[in-house]
Amino acid sequence: MVFSSYDWRLPTPAYPRPHPLSALCLRLLLTLSTAFVASGEPDKKPLVEPPVRVAIAPADKIGSLPRFTREVGKRAARAFLEGNWLEARNAYLSILEADPENPLTLANLGATELQLKNYDQARAHLIKALHHNPELHQSRVTLGLVYLEAGETYLAISTLSRAVADHPKDARARNYLAVAARELGWLTAAERELQAAVAAEPDFAEAHYNLALAYMERRPPAVELARRHYQRAIDLGAIADPKLDTRIGTPDEN
């Protein structure tokens, strides 16, 4: 049995307490809009993961926001943290009117447009941000996610491969790259990326879950390896899937 009908999981981060805001470096959060696989229990909420932060390059490399946009920048950051995407977008757009080439604003506006599923706008802003500052690693990862969610899988793989090459220990980038590779049927490559992801971040629940599915997609399935990583994902807080429970069980049942 090949588990090709199972969707692999992307993290759905929660919102922590807002970090102190700075005009030089607004450390914002990127939240993926992709929900987890339904567990068969409609009232059960998706797994909440730690947030993925937009990695802003040092201020001396990226430049700061104009002083007169400081209050607007703070308002945009708060709206972003609270998930008020339209308010955040409007605030970032007003900053861009004053400073159209600011990579920090472009990067965060791109992440905001991703939440709104405005993929064309998200792509344009993120590409422009990376043009002005190629060191914006998390923006490159975000761009890869835009391509992935827009169904442009080859571009997602190209972009995420660059991100992984630049930051080999970025477990989330590797997880996203694995999802993209699996979309094209590149199961060996996907499995390799997931193995690297859990090696880099052993407590990354989605990577363990996806690796369990990857092992089940081997022919013949590597059931024991799959069971080990599935149980680890459950231990880390992932939502169990009744069908997988039936198929592979857990170590306690064997």
Q: How confident is the model at residue 65, as a pLDDT?
A: 62
Check pLDDT > 70 for residue 52.
no
Q: What is the mean pLDDT of residues 188-211?
A: 97
Q: What is the pTM of this model?
A: 0.76
Q: Are 109 and 128 in contact (CB under 8 A)?
A: no
Q: State pLDDT tens for residues 205-225.
A: 999 999 999 999 999 999 999
Q: How confident is the model at residue 163, as a pLDDT?
A: 98
Rounded Cα distance, 99 and 220, in Å: 57
Q: How confident is the model at residue 7, as a pLDDT?
A: 67
Q: State pLDDT tens for residues 97-146.
A: 988 998 989 999 999 999 999 999 999 999 999 999 999 999 999 999 99
Q: What is the mean pLDDT of residues 1-11?
A: 52
The distance from CA 189 to its chain's CA centroid, rounded to whole angstroms, is 19
CATH code given to domain 29-185: 1.25.40.10
Q: What is the mean pLDDT of residues 24-33?
A: 27
How many angstroms separate the Cα of 139 from the Cα of each of 65, 88, 124, 130, 229?
Answer: 17, 17, 12, 7, 29
Helix axes 119-132 and 103-115, enclosed angle (nearest 10): 160
